Amino acid sequence: MQALLDALSAEEDPPTTVSQPPGALDVHLADSLSGLAVEALATALTVADVGAGAGFPGLALAAALPSASVDLIEAASRKCAVIRRLGAAAGLTNFRAVRARAEEWAKDEGAGVYDVVTARAVAPLGVLVEYAAPLLRERGALVAWTGKRDSEAERSAAAAASIVGLECEEIRKVTPFHGARDRHLHVYRKVGPTPARFPRRAGMARKRPLT
């Protein structure tokens, strides 16, 4: 974990405004590891981190779960390059930086193979459930990081989840680290098959939300 923080601090091209300690400890590392309070994630063997950005939570989870294989899915080649550098500097061998859109990867080797999909500061909840569903195996789970709870966003996400075979299992308030403040983890379980029309074409989930 320290090597990961050191590598982020030394990175010349960080795709994040918070790369230096002590801020990075809370904003990236502690926030990422808070997801391990969810049993599905703590016991997962295959994880896909959608919209991985600077590599969190994916790289932190790879460090914390050495028996798991973690794929960090990121469309930007620059960010993928940073993820590879950070992971290598931290000595991690159980991760991959996958340059792809989530929708594209779900049509390829990522279809239905993951125990857990994670997403942190990527898209509205209703969009995330659509991204996650085709990637998840039966009974797999989406763990999504959000800030303050939003009843309308949660209602919309629940409706979208019912369309793609997911249902909300838990909404957990994040404690106790200082940076948590209004943080919540939304857990959706795959309870049924995802219709064959998913994933939709890249970008459609945002342009034309299901609900």
3-class SS string, the chain: CHHHHHHHHHCCCCCCCCCCCCHHHHHHHHHHHHHHHCHHHHCCCEEEEECCCCCCCHHHHHHHCCCCEEEEEECCHHHHHHHHHHHHHCCCCCEEEEECCHHHHCCCCCCCCEEEEEEECCCCHHHHHHHHHHHEEEEEEEEEEECCCCHHHHHHHHHHHHHHCEEEEEEEECCCCHHHCCCEEEEEEECCCCCCCCCCCCCHHHHCCCC
What integer pLDDT is reported at residue 44 of this predicted model?
98
| Domain, as residue range, for 22 | 2-207
Q: What is the pLDDT of residue 17?
A: 83
* Count of domains observed in the chain: 1
CATH of the domain at 186: 3.40.50.150
Binned average pLDDT, 10 residues per bin, the chain of 211 residues: 92 86 86 96 98 95 98 97 96 98 96 97 95 98 96 97 98 83 94 97 94 90
Residue 18 is predicted with a pLDDT of 81
Is the model's pTM score more than 0.85?
Answer: yes
